[in-house]
Structure 1
Amino acid sequence: MNSLVNIAVFGIVGAVIMAALIGLLLVLGGRGQGRGPQTVFGAISLVVLIAVPALAAVNLRSTAPGTGFGPVFLVAFGVALVICAVNIAFLPLVARRAAAGRGEELAAGTRLSPALLGGGLLVCAVLGLVGAGVGILAG
């Protein structure tokens, strides 16, 4: 049960942080400030996507000493999955806002695709591996 609590707590915290970052990007991106907000958003997102799963893995190792790589990876993967799900859920909103900012109309076929979801799952697995590696080394 401890693993599920870690996934829920750290996943929700990471999701809230990502939603706030997306909101800031939407607000700052509409002011015509160039590529600066997107670059900052990308850097902060990368830090959040690496740090939050790693913190969940470290927390699991500290509360359950001797936990192997498998459970630690699953916790880090679950947290990364929750955070990435928020990013993917907000993707249509960001795409509509970006198209409106350029004065274009969003294409009717712009929606989530299996390739996007598969790529997101692969990214989450890599982030889970990184988080689990940090958790094993630090815990």
Structure 2
Amino acid sequence: MTSVNSLVNIAVFGIGGAVITAALIGLLLVVAGSGNGTSPRVRTVFGGASVALLVLLPTLAAANVLAGGAGFWTAFATAVCVAVVVCAVNMTLLPLAMRRQAAAGGAGALAALRPSLPVAAVGLVICLIVGLLGAGVAALTV
């Protein structure tokens, strides 16, 4: 029964995180399209919120799995899967926001921004690190 619990946690926290991340990026697009562009401070706040989601949601999913009686490696796998879902949304939607901002500001270099295989590989490594961090913190707190 633990595997079903893990899948439910991945779905709830992963999809919930994806929706929240998409909403943050949509809000960033609205702010970028408001005519005056976005300041570095606003971009830093949005980036910090994205990083907080990327760390917090896998930790909560791992804590939920550990509270259900599963082991550390199951919690780690769940945390990695949640991080991958949230990171995939970030890697898919952030270039869209950057292209829109580049089009509004006239920056041609950012308009050609596209995710690549090395970026995806680095994202996967980051997800593994975040999953390990989340499972470790969850193991210490539960």
Give the alignment partner of residue 64 of structure 2, picking from 59, 69, 74: 59
- For 1:69, the equivalent position in structure 2 comes to 72
Give the alignment partner of residue 17 of structure 2, picking from 14, 19, 28: 14
Task: Give the 3-state SS of the residue equivalent to 1:112 in structure 2.
Answer: coil
Q: How does 1:10-89 map to 2 (within 5 A)?
A: 10-30=13-33, 31-64=36-69, 67-89=70-92
Matched, 1:91 2:94: yes
Structure 2, unmatched stretches of 5+, are none
Question: How far 1:36 moved relative to its partner?
Answer: 1.9
Contact 1:7–1:78 under 8 Å retained in 2: yes
Structure 1, unmatched stretches of 5+, are none
Contact 1:7–1:56 under 8 Å retained in 2: yes
Give the 4+ runs in structure 1 shifted more than 4 A: none
Q: TM-score, normalised by structure 1?
A: 0.90
| Structure 1 residues 16-38: Cα deviation after superposition (integer angstroms, max 9, x where no partner) | 11001101111113332421210
Contact 2:37–2:105 under 8 Å retained in 1: no
Task: Give the 3-state SS of the residue equivalent to 1:79 in structure 2.
Answer: helix
Amino acid at match of 1:5: V
How many residue pairs get matched? 135
Q: TM-score, normalised by structure 2?
A: 0.88
Contact 1:29–1:37 under 8 Å retained in 2: no
Percent sequence identity over aligned pairs: 51
Amino acid at match of 2:83: A
| Structure 1 residues 36-79: Cα deviation after superposition (integer angstroms, max 9, x where no partner) | 21011011112111111100011111122xx3221110000000
Cα distance in 2, alignment partners of residues 18 and 113 from structure 1: 20
Which of 72-81 and 96-105 deviates more?
A: 96-105
Question: How far 1:88 moved relative to its partner?
Answer: 1.2
Question: How far 1:112 moved relative to its partner?
Answer: 2.1
